[in-house]
């Protein structure tokens, strides 16, 4: 009897239907159809072994085969190697031979100690995913606001802010792709609203998503390198023309990552074992095609940072400040530069300590996910929201807006100056009520007649 054409990746309902309708040949003992929650196993003659190709799943090599034993009494073999029973008529299937080397290593580390510790580690990983989702969402909002500010004001259109914008764009692309993949995974796992396939289960689209993700991440590192190089030249080079190098910056920032990413994607597609959506690609040696240059960028930026701090200390000594003040300013400069130059990414590039204690794994998980997910917010805050040029441009815009609204309010009041006193009061109250929702403290301008300046806040 040949059941090869109807076995394999069938549905549970279909497999159970076949199970109920199966009749073993007379005078022979057979194991019935069996559904093990992954594959549908065909009827197998007693005391024989049947094989199926490993299913398409995360960490599974589809080139391999998985076996299932039918015992001499017509029952599928159980986990302990004994025949199955009435509570588990489908027996037990050992999928360990299907696992990729990366998956096997991950499982060994995850289950170091006991199964209870493995559950705790998985719970920590789930919680850090929520943290990452929140951080990426906040970072995306901050980056989009920063980009709108940089594009809005002409006074901010210089080479330095252009580099900032390119870095922010690379980060936005990465964050959007990552959030899309996370939402897709969450919807697929919850099986809500009829969500059956998703990106993770769509060949080519899934791999392409990760290729674009790695491209955006590589571009982010390259623009971080350009930020470090530009800042280093601004501080250390005596004669530096910032506008003359911008075309080269764009070529390096967006062009070089294309070469790197295409090289990695080609090698991975040709030589990486077939697995669902290239699962575990970041654990392979091929991934160093990307990680190697990224590591070099971090090291170069670290060298830039040390030299920048050295130059700052020399200049601070020339300004005759105290030694404590010198150290304080140098440390503050380093802390400001660390997020932008990408050195914080070095922590996330280290291997997860799954085989260590729970506290070590928790500390590594929360620290790395916090730094990487909130990095966009930190950079947007330091280099846009707290930027002196940005604040000056915003203050000027607010001052102009206040002047226009104040003039308009004075003109409205003058049109009713010939009215009776009680009508004048009612009109002024209406004017104030109209303005209050937009900018509450404009009322003081009307009462006192003085416009607030950016350097004199309203009490």
The per-residue pLDDT for 438 is 41
Count of structural domains within the chain: 3
| CB-based contacts of 19, cutoff 8 Å, min separation 6 | 32, 33, 34, 35
* Distance between CA atoms of residues 292 and 290, nearest Å: 6
* Distance between CA atoms of residues 273 and 283, nearest Å: 13
Do 22 and 128 fall within a single domain? no
Q: Which residue has the tokens 């350097």?
A: 455
Chain-centroid distance of CA 5 in Å reads 42
Do 265 and 316 fall within a single domain? yes
Do 278 and 415 fall within a single domain? no
* Distance between CA atoms of residues 217 and 176, nearest Å: 12
The stretches in the chain having pLDDT less than 50 are: 1-6, 86, 416, 418-459
Do 80 and 117 fall within a single domain? no
The per-residue pLDDT for 421 is 45
Question: Radius of gyration (Cα) for the chain, nearest Å?
Answer: 32
Do 261 and 198 fall within a single domain? yes
The per-residue pLDDT for 145 is 95
Hey, what are 377's tokens? Answer: 């917010």
Do 66 and 134 fall within a single domain? no
Domain membership flag for residue 25: yes
Do 61 and 130 fall within a single domain? no
Domain membership flag for residue 306: yes
Domain membership flag for residue 459: no
- Residue 29's alpha-carbon distances to 72, 75, 77, in angstroms, are 8, 9, 14
Domain membership flag for residue 236: yes
Do 226 and 127 fall within a single domain? yes
The per-residue pLDDT for 260 is 96
pTM: 0.76
- Residue 45's alpha-carbon distances to 82, 85, 168, 254, in angstroms, are 17, 18, 63, 60
End-to-end CA distance of the chain: 90
Domain membership flag for residue 268: yes
- Residue 106's alpha-carbon distances to 97, 109, 185, in angstroms, are 15, 5, 20
- Give me the CATH number covering residue 345: 1.20.1070.10
Question: What's the domain range around 225?
Answer: 111-386
The per-residue pLDDT for 115 is 83
- Residue 168's alpha-carbon distances to 21, 53, 142, 152, 217, in angstroms, are 61, 45, 10, 15, 11
The per-residue pLDDT for 374 is 93
Domain membership flag for residue 163: yes
Do 40 and 165 fall within a single domain? no
The per-residue pLDDT for 420 is 47
- Give me the CATH number covering residue 27: 4.10.1240.10
The per-residue pLDDT for 328 is 62
Domain membership flag for residue 189: yes
For residue 345, the SS3 value is: helix
The per-residue pLDDT for 241 is 61
Do 309 and 262 fall within a single domain? yes
The per-residue pLDDT for 143 is 96
Domain membership flag for residue 454: no
């Amino acid at each position: 009897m040949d059941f090869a054409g109807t076995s394999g990746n069938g549905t549970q309902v279909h497999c159970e239907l076949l199970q109920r309708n199966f009749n073993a040949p007379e005078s022979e003992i057979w194991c019935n159809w069996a559904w093990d929650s992954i594959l549908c196993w065909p009827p197998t003659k007693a005391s024989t072994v049947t094989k199926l190709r490993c299913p398409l799943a995360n960490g599974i090599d589809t080139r391999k085969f998985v076996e299932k034993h039918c015992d001499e009494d017509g029952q599928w073999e159980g986990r302990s190697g004994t025949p199955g029973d009435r509570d588990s008529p489908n027996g037990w299937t050992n999928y360990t031979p299907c696992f990729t080397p990366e998956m096997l290593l991950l499982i060994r580390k995850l289950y170091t100690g006991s199964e209870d510790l493995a559950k705790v580690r998985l719970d920590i990983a789930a919680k850090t995913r929520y943290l990452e989702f929140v951080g990426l969402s906040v970072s995306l909002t901050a980056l989009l606001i920063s980009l709108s500010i940089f594009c809005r004001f002409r006074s901010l259109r210089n080479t330095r802010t252009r580099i900032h914008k390119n870095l922010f764009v690379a980060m936005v692309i990465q964050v959007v792709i990552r959030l899309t993949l996370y939402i897709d995974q969450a919807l697929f796992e919850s099986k809500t609203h009829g969500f059956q396939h998703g990106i993770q289960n769509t060949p080519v689209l899934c791999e392409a998503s990760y290729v674009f993700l790695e491209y955006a991440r590589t571009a982010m590192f390259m623009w971080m390198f350009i930020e470090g190089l530009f800042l280093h030249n601004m501080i250390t080079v005596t004669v530096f023309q910032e506008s003359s190098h911008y075309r080269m910056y764009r070529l390096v920032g967006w062009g070089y990552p294309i070469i790197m990413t295409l090289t990695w994607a080609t090698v991975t597609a040709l030589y990486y074992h077939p697995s669902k959506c290239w699962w575990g690609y970041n654990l392979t040696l091929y991934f160093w095609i990307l990680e190697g240059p990224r590591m070099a960028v971090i090291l170069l930026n670290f060298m830039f940072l040390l030299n920048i701090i050295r130059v700052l200390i020399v200049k601070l000594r020339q300004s005759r400040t105290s030694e404590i003040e010198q150290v304080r300013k140098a440390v503050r400069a380093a802390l400001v530069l660390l997020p932008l130059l990408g050195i914080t990414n070095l922590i996330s590039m280290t291997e997860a300590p799954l085989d260590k204690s729970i506290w070590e794994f928790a500390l590594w998980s929360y620290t790395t996910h916090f730094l990487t997910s909130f990095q966009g917010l930190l950079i947007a805050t330091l280099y846009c929201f707290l930027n002196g040029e940005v604040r000056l441009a915003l203050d000027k815009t607010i001052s102009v807006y206040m002047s226009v609204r104040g003039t308009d309010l004075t003109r409205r009041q003058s049109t009713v100056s010939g009215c009776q006193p009680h009508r004048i009061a009612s009109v002024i109250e209406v004017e104030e009520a109209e303005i209050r929702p937009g900018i509450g403290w404009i009322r003081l301008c009307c009462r006192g007649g003085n416009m607030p300046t950016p350097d004199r806040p309203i009490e």
